[in-house]
Amino acid sequence: MTTAEQTWTESTTEVAGLGVRSLQGGSGPAAVVLHHSSGNLGWIPFYEELARSFRVTVPDLPGYGQSQRPAWARDARDVAILMDRFLARVAPEGAVLVGLGFGGFIAAELATMHQERLGALALVGAAGLQPEEGELLDQMLIDFPEYMAAGFRDDARYREFFGEEVAKEVRELWDFSREMTARLSWKPYMFNRRLPHLLPEVRTPTLVVAGGADRVVPLACARQYATLLPNSALEIVEGAGHFVDYEEPQALAALIARHAGA
């Protein structure tokens, strides 16, 4: 993509003394996307699709990518507090909050603290709850490319997306991201036992999305979110794995736009 064709801009917002870098594109109501634990790959097709309906902001979560590390942060809730302050700055009028995987965990935590901030919520393959059935795939116990591949419906789709040889920059991003994730979610891994007790208080209209072939976060988690959140709807995207945003960008963006009435 040349500069002339670039449809997005980049900026840095200060939150709690830390620079949070984000990408922005599109116009319309505000939508903020919180990325997966593997980090933000840049302005991917899903953001471009979403930008047809929204003014999209995608921060690098604190400690990931180009955002400064909160050395003191110890769990998803700490990052949720920082993201709440980030939203106060970039979308003070309220936003559609989209959380992907680990970002979904953070979005759910944020909603329990400050739902007034949110026009709508979309949790996509969200971690954060201990699955009643199955186990969350543990990225600390397997080779990271294997973990990433498990995020797709099959390995062929993974190779289609990342190529036969994963680019060095991407591997570095994964490596750095994994370290930050290990700082934030170690034990218990990728869930918070306190969260389910607070979710029933969240009245925000929420779309719970999961790929029908998710091999990272068991589908049970999506069902649990849908049960616990009183104002929610569940959408299973058949044929997609955990990374619905990578695999089905158009379908996912359309679901979110419809949900938010944009």
Partner 1 sequence: MFIGYFTERPYQDQKSGYFGAAGRDIADLGISNREYDPRLGSDLYNRYLDEKVYAEEMGFDGLMLNEHHSTPFCMGGVVNVEAAILARITKRARIVILGNVLPIWDDPLWLAEELAEIDMISRGRLVTGWVRGTGRESVAHNAQSPFNWDRFQEAHDLVLAAWTRSGPFRWEGEHYNYRYVNPWAKPYQQPHPQIWIPGVMSRNTVKWAAEHRYPYVMLATDLEPTKGSYDYYDEVARESGYEAGTQHRGYLFKVHVDETEELADQAARKYVEGPSNPFLEGNQGIVRPYLQNLPGMTSRTNLLPTVTSFTQARARGRLAEHEQATAEAEGKVEAADQFGTYENQKERMTIITGTPKTVIPKVRHVLEYLRPGSIFFWDGDGAMDHDDAMRSLRLMGEEVIPATREIAKELDLKSPFEVDTMTNDAVAEEAVAAPAG
Which stretch, 16-24, 84-92, 93-101, 163-171, contacts partner 1 (CB under 8 A)?
163-171
181 is a site residue for partner 1 (CB under 8 A): yes
The dihedral through the CA atoms of 226, 195, 129, 44 has a sign that is: positive
Determine which residue in the list 19, 92, 142, 194 makes contact with partner 1, applying CB under 8 A: 142
27 is a site residue for partner 1 (CB under 8 A): no
Closest CA to 82 of 37, 11, 20: 20
CB of 11 to partner 1, least distance (A): 25
Determine which residue in the list 1, 5, 187, 193 makes contact with partner 1, applying CB under 8 A: 187
140 is a site residue for partner 1 (CB under 8 A): yes
Collapsing DSSP to helix, strand or coil, 176 comes out as: helix
Beta strands in the chain (DSSP E): 8-15, 18-25, 30-34, 55-59, 95-100, 118-124, 206-211, 232-237
End-to-end CA distance of the chain: 28
161 is a site residue for partner 1 (CB under 8 A): no
By C-beta, is 97 or 180 nearer to partner 1? 180
Determine which residue in the list 14, 179, 201, 238 makes contact with partner 1, applying CB under 8 A: 179
159 is a site residue for partner 1 (CB under 8 A): no
CB of 228 to partner 1, least distance (A): 27
Q: What is the DSSP string of 92-157?
A: TT-EEEEEETHHHHHHHHHHHHHGGGEEEEEEES--BS--SSS----TTSS-HHHHHHHTSSSHHH
193 is a site residue for partner 1 (CB under 8 A): no
By C-beta, is 187 or 193 nearer to partner 1? 187
Q: Are 241 and 211 in contact (CB under 8 A)?
A: yes
Residues lying near partner 1 in the complex (CB under 8 A) are found at 140-146, 165-166, 171, 174-176, 178-179, 181-183, 186-187
